[in-house]
Amino acid sequence: MTVLPLHDRDGEIWLDGRFVPWRDAHLHVLAHGLHYGGGIFEGERVYDGQVFKLTEHTERLHASARELGFELPYTVAELDGATRELVRRQGIGNGYVRPVAWRGSEHISVAGAGASVHVALATWEWPHVFSAEAKAAGIRLGTTRWRRPAPDTAPVRAKAASLYNICTLARDEADAAGFDDALFLDYRGYVAEATGANLFLVAGSVLHTPTADCFLAGITRRTVLDLAAELGIEVVERHIGPDELGDFDECFLTGTAYEVQPVREIDGHRFTVGKTTTALLEAYEELVHAPADARPAAGAGAP
């Protein structure tokens, strides 16, 4: 199967308030966001032509911008409307949306004040990250040497492009070592998350997840916590040491791209795709494919 490069496709991208041909969606090489990490983004899933929890994602994009010290020049409602229209124009049934915002090229300086703010939206068909086999059997993680930073050293509440540098380094190392993804510890040595997904572990019938005090508490994470409550599954949010991994029976990751993805191994610790993981995976699939008027109200459960 041939996969087209992202820069060379047909269709349109929404850029700074207007729809432009896909191949003409450019930024200047001296953009502040490119040089100094002044960029933010979101990832959104399209199911049956509808963007799941669109407003929550757009609200988080605005919140991330504020964390980085700038304001987006478009309201939540304007970006929601542009996203829906873009999905319609591109004819996306089941895919992905990438909103991104960055500081412009008025000056080359570490200081960002005075730089313009640009926003773009792109969408494409993308049904699944992992194969059906990996979805059924689980993926393998290896712990990376990189750590999630302390809250007083980085804007950990933002979905900031700069924070994903260590994700790239960790994921490349994991791929080279034969793993499917990397597991981060945080700056204190507690289990944190994968490179782009939150972590859940199951002991008996109890669901455990790391306290999100130095990494992003994802929208999919909150959705799964809400589903667990509806299913009567006990949830414990706490600091988890890596020496505890052998105490758990099941493990899975959550994220917009990953959805609910079972994990079969972390550093030699084996897990099964048990009843709790299966129940939450099935509940999530049912929720995202439910009719739009049956889905949670916009903004409900936002982290």
Positions marked active-site: 159
Beta bridge partners of 14: 19, 121
Q: Which residues make Cβ contacts (< 8 Å) with residue 59, sequence separation at least 6?
A: 76, 299, 302
> Whose CA is closest to 83, among 7, 14, 160, 18?
14
Tokens encoding 93: 């049934």
Pairing label, strands 117-125, 95-103: antiparallel
The Cα–Cα gap between 186 and 143 comes to 11
Tokens encoding 121: 């939206």
Tokens encoding 253: 């990751």
> How many C-beta neighbours within 10 Å does residue 256 have?
21
Check the CA dihedral 259-99-72-114 and report its sign.
positive
Q: Angle CA(175)–CA(146)–CA(58) in degrees, nearest 5? A: 85
> How many C-beta neighbours within 10 Å does residue 53 have?
26
* DSSP state, residue 10: S
* DSSP state, residue 160: B
Q: If DSSP codes are grouped into helix, strand and coil, which group holds residue 262?
A: strand
Phi, psi of 281 (to 5 degrees): -60, -45
For residue 270, give the amino acid letter: R
Q: Angle CA(170)–CA(131)–CA(263) in degrees, nearest 5? A: 55
Q: Which residues make Cβ contacts (< 8 Å) with residue 243, sequence separation at least 6?
A: none
